[in-house]
Amino acid sequence: MPVHHPPPTFPCEEHGHSPGYPRPNPLLSFWLQHTRNSPLLGHHTTGTLPDKTDATIIGSGLSGAATAYFLLTAGPEDRRPRSVTLLEAREACDGAKARNGGHYYPDYKADFGQEQALKIIQNEMDTLNLVEEIIAKEGIDCDFWRAFTYDIAMDQPAADSLAASYAEFAADGGPVEGIVTPILDPTQAHEATRCQAALAAYKCPAGVLFPRKLVLHLLGLCIEKYGMNLQTRTPVRRVVPRISSAGGWRVETDRGAVETETVVYATNAYTATLLPEFVEHIWPFKVKSMLVDDQDLAGKIG
């Protein structure tokens, strides 16, 4: 699958420094503008934090919500945690997941080497299918639409680059069948994509959804059906080993501390603030997603 995401060029924080905490008043994303009546706004399942909990998840994006969902529903019942607490610095699902494009599709990342790139693309296909399965199973209303996505070449260098990337993917043994369909005739590429300047296009399976609706539904389900404790507006400041007993952790926030056996960091760009060993590896970047709702314009840009 072609690689054509431009590398990030404007880090908002210097590489090698702690990213700090999520800012308390971020820009209101497109998705959040439509969900200001969410029952989870400012949610505290209990007025104060529980003293103890089996598992504590930090961060309520899709990683945190999916972790909670699978911890509470998957595997043998006697091995599931009896109590799960989720701590979120901002509102529920107010990080990258509340700001993204809502697209799910496999993307071949040759930079990672053949073996890893093939595992990634398989994992992405599996994720697309799993997301569809869970949405159907739980009856989640999140505007999910199983569709296709196109990588479009609008000039010859782009067409050459996409062709080379496709050839590399196929030569590496990539599962082309059903995953990447090249459309090399410009007229057909134009018709398929409605992009007038298309010289070639590569079609692959994809899904589109309203990401925040998916996450809020999963969080609501975990709270109502499985007793999860969600605490929004509760930034975690520190995680330290528990002193008084063998093992476990003390998760410290501005609203008190929770003692816990297991901590899951679903903190995305802010992970290195709590786990400094990731300072060199994970740091926030500014990325913009653009919504084009003008049909004429949509056909003219790539």
Ligand X SMILES: Cc1cc2nc3c(=O)[nH]c(=O)nc-3n(C[C@H](O)[C@H](O)[C@H](O)COP(=O)(O)OP(=O)(O)OC[C@H]3O[C@@H](n4cnc5c(N)ncnc54)[C@H](O)[C@@H]3O)c2cc1C
DSSP reduced 3-state for 110: helix
Query: Measured between alpha carbons, how far is 211 from 192 in angstroms, rounded to an integer?
Result: 26
Give the integer Cα–Cα distance in Å for 280 and 231. Answer: 29
Q: How many CB atoms are located within 10 Å of the residue 58 CB? A: 24
Q: Widest CA span of the chain, in angstroms? A: 71
Helix (H) or strand (E) holding 148: strand 145-153
User: Which residues, 37 to 66, sit near ligand X by CB under 6 A?
Assistant: 58-64
Task: Decide if residue 85 touches ligand X (CB under 6 A).
Answer: no
Site string for ligand X, 237-266 (x = CB under 6 A): -----------------------------x
Residue 102 or 174 with smaller CB distance to ligand X: 102
Place of tokens 């060993």: 277
Of all helices (H) and strands (E), which one includes residue 229?
Answer: strand 229-231
Beta pairing partners, 263: 56
| Interacting residue with ligand X among 43, 97, 213, 233 (CB under 6 A) | 97
207 makes contact with ligand X (CB under 6 A): no
**Positions in 271-290 near ligand X (CB under 6 A):** 273-274, 287-289
Taking CB under 6 A as the rule, does residue 124 contact ligand X? Answer: no
- Binder among 31, 55, 57, 94 for ligand X (CB under 6 A): 94
Nearer to ligand X, 102 or 182 (CB): 102
Q: Of the candidates 248, 280, 268, which has an alpha carbon nearest to the alpha carbon of residue 89?
A: 268
CA pair distance 14, 33, nearest whole angstrom: 30
Q: Name residues whose C-beta falls within 8 Å of residue 206's C-beta, 6 or more positions apart in sequence.
A: 103, 104, 105, 128, 146, 147, 148, 149
Q: Which residue is nearest to ligand X (CB)?
A: 61
Q: How many CB atoms lie within 10 A of CB 52?
A: 14
Q: Which stretch binds ligand X (CB under 6 A): 68-76, 101-109, 129-137, 186-194?
A: 101-109
- 3-state class (DSSP) for residue 153: strand
- The minimum distance between CB 61 and ligand X, in angstroms, equals 2
Shortest spacing between CB 184 and ligand X, in angstroms: 26
User: Which part of the chain contacts ligand X (CB under 6 A), choosing from 130-138, 180-188, 220-228, 270-278?
Assistant: 270-278
Question: Using the rule CB under 6 A, which residue among 89, 216, 223, 228 binds ligand X?
Answer: 89
Answer positive or negative: Cα dihedral of 249, 252, 253, 255.
Answer: positive
Q: How far is the CB of 287 from ligand X (least distance, A)?
A: 4
Distance of CA 4 to the CA centre of its chain: 19
> Which of 66/199 has CB closer to ligand X?
66
Least CB distance to ligand X at residue 266 (A): 5
What number of other Cβ atoms are within 10 A of residue 81's Cβ?
18
**Least Å from the CB of residue 192 to ligand X:** 20
In angstroms, give the least distance from the CB of 197 to ligand X: 23
Which of 83, 100, 122, 262 forms a contact with ligand X (CB under 6 A)? 100
- 153-192 residues in contact with ligand X (CB under 6 A) are none
C-beta of residue 226 within 8 angstroms of C-beta of residue 72? yes
User: Interface residues with ligand X (CB under 6 A)?
Assistant: 21-22, 58-64, 87-90, 94-97, 99-104, 235-236, 266-268, 270, 273-274, 287-289
